[in-house]
Structure 1
Amino acid sequence: MEPARSALSDKFDDDDYPAYSMGRAAEILEVTPAFLRSLGGGKLIEPLRSAGGHRRYSRHQLRLAARARRLVDQGTPLEAACRIIVLEDQLEDALRLNAELRAGCECGSRPPSP
């Protein structure tokens, strides 16, 4: 594969590539640009900036915003929704790490065979 084609493919598959403008992200999520800006204030999403200073969002960030929107639609205050999502993700990471460490300990802690 030629280098330019490979780089394009990498960006297409990269969940963290900031491919969406604020307007497009708001349209996809059916929210206002103000809602997306408020997620930055809630420390949930910090969009990257284009060379011109415009906010750019990744697919990963759009999924986080969608989760926040669901919580807000259910009556959760925005700042609480952002905190819930951060804590849920931290818990998921800790559980995954714990499982990996336990699996590593089980392999190394078996008693020697007679």
Structure 2
Amino acid sequence: MISAAVSSEDDPTLSCLTFRFWVLSTFFTSLCAAISQFYHFRPNNGDFSLFFVVFVSYVAGRWMARVLPTRKFQILRWSFSLNPGPFNIKEHVCIFVATGAGGGSAYAT
């Protein structure tokens, strides 16, 4: 069933560690960790699902792909772009994995 929805071939031309990934994963990881930690000490649970992050990060990623400039910036020998192309599945999965890994509450507080 999964192979019908997701390709088993890798496309090495797609970039995954982009500016959009770093901004969105930092935002969603911080938001999820803060909400999880806040509700960790309360008797009622106020956590939200990672499916929320999947849906909202897709919309935010598509929006950022539309509004960010495509110009290349040069710093010494390195160049980078804030918008390397359309929002792709690799960025989306990396945002989901980063948020899932770091968005929980800390048990040692």
Q: TM-score, normalised by structure 2?
A: 0.24
Structure number with the bigger relative contact order (C-alpha 8 A, sep ≥ 6) is: 2
Q: Which has the higher helix share?
A: 1
Bigger-Rg structure (1/2): 1
Q: TM-score, normalised by structure 1?
A: 0.23
